[in-house]
Amino acid sequence: MLRRSVEIAREAREIYYDRCTKDSSDFMRDERYRKRPILIAASVGSYGAYLADGSEYVGDYGDAVTVQTLKDFHRERVKILVEAGADLIAFETIPNKLEAQAYAELLEEEGIETPAWFSFSCKDESNVVSGDSIFECASIADSCRQVVAVGVNCTAPRFIHGLISFIKKATSKPVLVYPNSGETYIAESNQWVKSSGAAEHDFVSYIGKWRDAGASLFGGCCRTTPNTIRGIAEATYGKLKDKCI
């Protein structure tokens, strides 16, 4: 299934290129798009998601889980995604520095040359959900040769600006942010609850502030929509060609 997911994404990319070439010559002549190839990022989620007990939201795996435990858990999945031809490996929603360290060591041990990004899930402006500091976590990512970007996802928009500043202190690598809409997830009831969620137009308005703070890659995570992503793209690159979105 992992291998097939990458294959499907690669097939979709070819369909997109083919349609854009046929349907919009203006699109293909636009330097902004011809110089920005579509990359396939294969997602690697946290060990906590596998446990299915809400651990990914608090980052507490217990004393029995070690760096070696996590490396052994992720090793085969990562190798399959690399062999399938992913352009990037996206290590996402990382809840603690233990798992970040496991990823960094795994990439080195397996000699994986596919570029990767590390993206952390955070509970406030300075800490990931486990309580580990984002500075420490970003420092681990900074020390990993294969990591080409460091950032935050699955986090409330109101925390992003502060998190960017701490990440920038830990690394000179590009910073990526793709937060949630801002609603609160209640793990016990498996429900999203309205809180200080950001409307789509408000969410998009943050992009300029996050860019000024030092982020350079943007997206949306839980409870964001295709309209959110379209708005982000337009805020970043200007109005896009409708036929090729």
Kindly report the CATH number assigned to the domain that includes residue 17.
3.20.20.330
Residue 25 forms part of a structural domain: yes
pLDDT of residue 234: 86
Q: What is the pLDDT of residue 19?
A: 79
Cβ atoms of 191 and 152 within 8 Å: the answer is no
Domain annotation covers residue 134: yes
Residue 45 lies in a domain: yes
Binding residue per annotation — 144?
A: no
Residue 244 annotated as part of some ligand binding site:
no
b or e along 79-94 (b: 16 or more beta carbons within 10 Å of the residue's beta carbon)?
ebbbebebbbbbbbbb
Residues of the chain with pLDDT under 70: 22-36, 183-201, 238-245
Q: Is 154 a known ligand-binding residue?
A: yes
pLDDT at res. 245: 47
**What is the sign of the dihedral through the CA atoms of 191, 197, 200 and 204?**
negative
Residue 54: inside a domain, yes or no?
Answer: yes
Give the predicted TM-score (pTM) of the model: 0.87
Per-residue pLDDT, 243: 44
Residue 242 lies in a domain: no
- Name the domain count of the chain: 1
Instruction: List, for residues 115-139, the tens digit of each pLDDT value.
Output: 999 999 999 999 999 999 999 999 9
pLDDT of 148: 98
Which tens digits make up the pLDDT trace of 66-96? Answer: 999 999 999 999 999 999 999 999 999 999 9
Q: Which structural domain range is residue 67 located in? A: 2-174
